[in-house]
Amino acid sequence: MPPKPLDYVSINENVKKSQYAVRGELYLRASELQKEGKKIIFTNVGNPHALGQKPLSFPRQVVALCQAPFLLDDPNVGLLFPADAIAKAKHYISLTSGGLGAYSDSRGLPGVRKEVAEFILRRDGYPSDPELIYLTDGASKGVMQILNTIISGQDDGILVPVPQYPLYSATISLLGGTLVPYYLEETANWGLDVNELRQSVAQARYKGITVKAMVIINPGNPTGQCVSEANLVEILRFCYEENLVLLGDEVYQQNIYQDERPFISSKKVLMDLGPPISKEVQLISFHSVSKGYYGECGQRGGYFEMTNIPPQTVEEIYKVASISLSPNVPAQIFMGIMMNPPQPGDISYDQYVRESKGILESLRRRARIMTDGFNSCRNVVCNFTEGAMYSFPQIRLPPRALEAAKQAGKVPDVFYCLNLLESTGISTVPGSGFGQKEGVFHLRTTILPAEEDMPAIMDSFKKFNDEFMEQYEDNRGYSRL
Amino acid sequence: MRKSAADRFRHLFNRSLLLRHHHHNPPPLSSSLSRPFSSMASDSPFPVTAHNINPKVLKCEYAVRGEVVTLAQNLQKDLQANPGAHPFDEILYCNIGNPQSLGQAPITFFREVLALCDHPTILDKSETQGLFSADAIERAWQIVDQIPGRATGAYSHSQGVKGLRDTIAAGISERDGFPANPDDIFMTDGASPAVHNMMQLLIRSENDGILCPIPQYPLYSASITLHGGNLVPYYLEEATGWGLEIPELKKQLDAAKSKGIHVRALVVINPGNPTGQVLSEENQRDIVEFCKQEGLVLLADEVYQENVYVPEKKFHSFKKVTRSMGYGEDDITLVSFQSVSKGYHGECGKRGGYMEVTGFSTEVREQIYKMASVNLCSNISGQILASLVMSPPKVGDESYESFMAEKGNILASLARRAKTLEDAFNKLEGVTCNRAEGAMYLFPQIRLPGKAIKAAEEANTAPDNFYCKHLLNATGVVVVPGSGFGQVPGTWHFRCTILPQEEKIPAIVTRLTEFHEKFMDEFRD
């Protein structure tokens, strides 16, 4: 009997090869335990609302009104919704061609894309063309579309930071391309050394790979570093010299927890460099409504902006976008509001600012609490979370722990994280899901649990860690970098 | 007493149309046929040019938003700038199944529930009861309670919120009379991404083929191309109302095999797009047998399951048919696609849908789950809507009567428009049009005179494309040439939706008729 097409042996190898640890083994085990009644703290994914962060009021009011526009004519609507939300809803409905239920332009509503362009102009000081901004069902879809355009086969290489957010490794795998790693330097605050880049590219080319693109995640995920302007200049010059398109994942641009390195967009740095570089380096920048202070992961809203991409290529990207007809319209409205928020004088302004600031300031405090908590453990070293939503401590494991992991048939950090989960209910993602140097182990957790729960969570972690070390340590010390 | 939701929606919609003329900013894309070859030539230093991007991207086509539509958008821009420059005063987009863009009102109950789920803080305010129906409030409570932390803004389980999948499974059960498992449901941003996932899973190389109906909805051809596979066509029989003949399936399957192609799956679109036929149950049983015998995965696109306009036909899901034949999980692998975009609800912009996957091993289910997890989850609002579509108001619910009235009116109107346009097309010289038993389209065949075909050749364009462009320029009506869907070589068709507002249909018929007469006068041999 020949194998059937959907038997395991018969399916696409690329599917089998690709991995996405964020919802992989640890998460599945955590879900099992939860079903059995154990209390689980899910810190495996950047999903703020799932951990109690509230949505901002104004966008929800506006979108609710857009969903049910018959409310707008009801004389009592003002009892539940402020006047500026009502006006904003009417504005967005007028931008649609038939309300929330009609497919929009495949690139997204022109009016919203205009709002995005205006935001970018205000942010960077350089004009942005709405025609080169495409809204997508989350930034992830945009990343997949662009990588699909770039990758023809296994000879096409994409430079990806290690550690990285595994959307990149999984997608490159699915598309049959080659991931070309460049290692971030943990001891230099996850800094990027251009020499490391050069080496990675040279090695890849030696193996016959055409390196076509470079991914940077700024602020970093899982690493949390905010890339300095000087570093961005180096990166852009590097892309210019090596003929690479730069893919700038900037979804965490609003999550900045220190003042030394504010967010600066790759686009701005590129434009600041002036011609010829500013006219030649191809750049695609990604943003999302899932992070920042909105945290609206479930809406699936994002965009990418194209810079210096030839019109024929843009047409091809449009063509592929059109096959999926259109991104979901409610999320486009969330994006519009995020780009074009209430202004001073608007009824909802104060509340909007208060809610946003509250979230960001709390995230800043939690970043500090978590980093300090990890660093107070003697076998843990943790770089400060300068931005994004994660903490990525390095856990130094003694040889007997490594041995026990081997016996259990698990990679050491997976072993550690599974034990942590069973002991404390804290569900993290092992560092191996993101990539790390050989023999060095990490885990990724989010800084998203409620502020009042943080001290207890860090205590719980410390208690587990100390007991784990007690169990596996011997007097000869433990693994070092 | 509240004005009917449909009336108020129409009022708002018409206002938005007026406002849209000021806001709308159509793209400056010009036809790729007329674009001179870009200076970004093969010696370009840029890493990403049209010469070195993924060739599968270059190869794939999607006519529904293709060339004729781009021309229409340019015409629309021109109309705004120079009103009166054309023999029509608006562009009518009949190229795409997008009901609400042409004035169809959403279902009030669904929108009430969605609005409440978007802004759940108002659920326990007393003022809310004055604005929303009681059963909408109750349903919204039920739904948010199924979402952990009532967080409608959080990523859900990668297959979709469990409680919503339970509702959908119950809805499938009730529809079919056979049980459905919530763990077999994978919710997606519309049915299209689910189709892509299946193509990704099934296609390993260009030696893998997927049997597709011709004519087909070009998502399939585009997706197969993007994933590097082989489309194996099987022709629907126009003379017998677009019948699906098993001998034709067998013939095409064997021909593909002899060329060394592993045929993995059979796509069936029921009701059909663009062809509109509703399969008979007997035909469906034959198809199931065929797939079982030949070891093919059955991919059942059933997004138009609520759009059936003729009393002699009924929709039967392939799930129901397989189970009623006594075939279970071990006998046949079946993937069924459903969407919130069509039916009577027409919520295209929400991007809601799911696939129900049955008859595959645990390991493969894990792979499907893994693929879904890379995108984390589909949008929650779309998930909620899908659960509403599969479990609408019931007898006794406060909204039941008004819901049934809205649904009935929309479906009856669609049936009338289908018939009116079908009759109109059949009256045109050289045109025959099969009945639209279901879905949202008519797919008339036009017998073009030799002179027209020659003129098309000279214009370097396919004859049906030539006709559609002339049609657009004369009437402002946008349709999609049959070559975008596939057709028997040497025959020409176009696809036109039945969606323009009913009051506009007579004017459309008049314009189309006048245009066609002039066209035939000009090109008659």
Q: Are A294 and B154 in contact (CB under 8 A)?
A: no
Residue A387 confidence class, pLDDT cut points 50, 70, 90: very high
> Residue B49 has which token pair?
């040019």
Residues of chain A with Cβ-Cβ distance to B374 below 8 Å are 18, 20, 140, 167, 170-171, 174
| B11 pLDDT above the threshold of 70 | no
CATH 3.40.640.10 for the A95-339 domain, yes or no: yes
Which pLDDT value is given to residue B349?
96
> pLDDT by residue (tens digit) across A199-224?
999 999 999 999 999 999 999 999 99
CA dist., res. A478 & res. B10, Å (int): 72
Quote the tokens at residue A332: 């486009």
Instruction: Output b/e per residue, A370-407; b: 16+ Cβ within 10 A.
Output: bbebbeebebbbbbbbbbbbbbbbbbbbbeebbebbee
State the Cα angle at B94 between B92 and B100, rounded to 5°.
Answer: 85
Residues of chain B found within 8 Å of residue A325, distances taken between Cβ atoms: 64-65, 96, 190, 192, 348
Q: What is the mean pLDDT of residues A410-414?
A: 96
How far is it, in rounded angstroms, from Cα A89 to Cα A70?
Answer: 12
In which band, very low, low, confident or very high, does the pLDDT at B42 lie, cut at 50, 70 and 90? Answer: very low
pLDDT of residue A14: 85
* Exposed / middle / buried, residue B277 (Cβ in 10 Å: 0-12, 13-18, 19+): buried
Best of B30, B53, B91 to mutate (most A CBs within 10 Å, chain A) = B53
Nearest CA in chain B to A73: B8
Considering only alpha carbons, which residue of chain A is nearest residue B49? A313
Assigned token pair, B173: 């059960």
CATH superfamily of A13-39+354-472: Aspartate Aminotransferase, domain 1 (3.90.1150.10)
pLDDT tens per residue, range A255-313: 999 999 999 999 999 999 999 999 999 999 999 999 999 999 999 999 999 999 999 89
For residue range A32-65, what is the model confidence (pLDDT) as tens digits?
999 999 999 999 999 999 999 999 999 999 999 9
Q: Which of A143, A212, A324, A427 should be substituted to probe chain B, the one whose Cβ sees the most B Cβ atoms within 10 Å?
A: A324
Looking at residue A289, its amino acid is: V
| A21 alpha-carbon distance from chain centroid | 14
CB pairs under 8 A between A and B: 361
* pLDDT on residue B4: 40
Q: What is the pLDDT of residues A71-103, one digit of tens each?
A: 999 999 999 999 999 999 999 999 998 999 999
CB–CB of A297 and B376 under 8 A? Answer: yes
The nearest alpha carbon in chain A to B375 belongs to A140
Query: A299 and B119 in contact by Cβ < 8 A?
Result: no
What is residue A465's predicted lDDT score, i.e. its pLDDT? 97
Q: Is the peptide bond before B500 cis (omega within 30 degrees of 0)?
A: no
Phi, psi of B496 (to 5 degrees): -130, 135
Q: Which residues of B fall within a CB distance of 8 Å from A323?
A: 60, 62, 192, 218-219, 222-223, 226
pLDDT at position A231: 95
A304-360: pLDDT as tens digits: 999 999 998 999 999 889 888 999 999 999 999 999 999 999 999 999 999 999 999
Q: How confident is the model at residue B9 (pLDDT cuts 50, 70, 90)?
A: very low
How far A245 CA sits from the closest chain B CA (Å)?
6
- Tell me the shortest Cα–Cα distance from B201 to chain A, in angstroms: 5
Residue A150 is nearest to which of B26, B40, B53, comparing CB atoms? B53
To test the contact with chain A by mutation, choose from B122, B126, B155 the residue with the greatest count of A C-beta atoms within 10 A, namely B155
Please give the residue of chain A at the shortest CA–CA distance from B332.
A4
- Chain-wide mean pLDDT for chain B? 90
pLDDT, tens digit, for every residue of B46-74?
677 777 788 888 888 888 888 899 999 99
Query: Residues A174-197: what's their mean pLDDT?
Result: 95
pLDDT in tens, B246-295: 999 999 999 999 999 999 999 999 999 999 999 999 999 999 999 999 99
What pLDDT is stored for residue A479 in this prediction? 53
Distance CA B92, CA B202 (A): 38
How far is Cα B443 from Cα A446, in angstroms, rounded to an integer? 54
Strand boundaries in B236-378, DSSP class E = 262-269, 297-301, 334-339, 353-358
Are A48 and B158 in contact (CB < 8 Å)?
A: no
pLDDT digits (tens, 9 = 90+) for B307-323: 999 999 999 999 999 99
Residue keyed to tokens 């931008």: A95
Residue at B525: amino acid letter: D
Contacts of B365 in chain A (CB under 8 A): none
Give the H/E segment covering residue B187: strand B185-188
Q: Report pLDDT for B17.
A: 39
Q: What is the 3-state secondary structure (H, E, C) of chain A?
A: CCCCCCCHHHCCHHHHHCCCHHHCHHHHHHHHHHHCCCCCEECCCCCHHHHCCCCCHHHHHHHHHHHCHHHHHCCCHHHHCCHHHHHHHHHHHHHCCCCCCCCCCCCCCHHHHHHHHHHHHHHHCCCCCHHHEEEECCHHHHHHHHHHHHCCCCCEEEEEEECCCCHHHHHHHHCCCEEEEEECEHHHCCECCHHHHHHHHHHHHHCCCEEEEEEEECCCCCCCCCCCHHHHHHHHHHHHHHCCEEEEECCCCCCECCCCCCCCCHHHHHHHCCCCHHHHCCEEEEEECCCCCCCCHHHCCEEEEEECCCHHHHHHHHHHHHHCCCCCHHHHHHHHHHHCCCCCCCCCHHHHHHHHHHHHHHHHHHHHHHHHHHHCCCCEECCCCCECCEECCEECCCHHHHHHHHHCCCCHHHHHHHHHHHHHCEECEEHHHCCCCCCCCEEEEECCCCHHHHHHHHHHHHHHHHHHHHHHCCCCCCCCC
Give the C-alpha separation, A456 to B485, whole Å. 61
Contact between A300 and B360 using a beta-carbon 8 Å cutoff? no
CB contact under 8 A, A282 and B202: no
Contacts of A152 in chain B (CB under 8 A): 52-56
Strand, helix or coil at B228?
Answer: coil
HEC-encoded secondary structure of B337-361: EEECCCCCCCCHHHCCEEEEEECCC
Question: Within its chain, how far is the Cα of A138 from the centroid?
Answer: 10
Q: Encode pLDDT of B84-99 as tens digits.
A: 889 998 999 999 999 9
Rounded to an integer, what distance in angstroms lies between the CA atom of residue B131 and that of residue B302? 35
Helix (H, G, I), strand (E, B) or coil at B461: coil
- Give the residue range(s) of CATH 3.90.1150.10 domains in chain A: 13-39+354-472
Contact across the interface for B379 and A312, Cβ inside 8 Å: no
Full-model pTM: 0.90
Q: Do A324 and B24 touch (CB under 8 A)?
A: no
* pLDDT of B15 strictly over 70: no
Minimal Cα distance from A300: which residue of B? B379
Are B383 and B351 contacting, i.e. CB atoms less than 8 angstroms apart? Answer: no
Neighbouring C-beta atoms of residue A66, cutoff 10 Å: 26
Please report the sign of the dihedral spanned by the C-alpha atoms of residue B195, residue B200, residue B205, residue B207: negative
- Measured between beta carbons, the chain A residues lying within 8 angstroms of B262 are 5
Residue A138, amino acid: G
> What pLDDT is recorded for position B403?
98
B1 CB contacts (<8 Å, ≥6 apart)? none
Q: Is the pLDDT of residue A18 over 90?
A: no
Tell me what ipTM this predicted complex has.
0.91
Query: What whole-number distance in Å separates Cα of residue B165 and Cα of residue B172?
Result: 10
Q: How far is A98 from chain B (nearest CA, A)?
A: 4
Number of Cβ atoms within 10 Å of the Cβ of A474: 9
Domain with CATH 3.40.640.10 in chain A: 95-339
Other residues' Cβ atoms within 10 Å of the Cβ of residue B167: 22
- Coil, strand or helix: which one is B108? helix
Between the CA atoms of B216, B219, B220 and B221, what dihedral angle is there, to the nearest 10 degrees?
A: 90
Give me the mean pLDDT over the B206-216 stretch: 96
Does residue A388 register a pLDDT over 80? yes
Encoded tokens for A316: 């091809």
Digit-coded pLDDT (tens) for A445-473: 999 999 999 999 999 999 999 999 999 98
Query: What are the chain A neighbours of B154 within 8 Å (beta carbons)?
Result: 47-50, 297-298
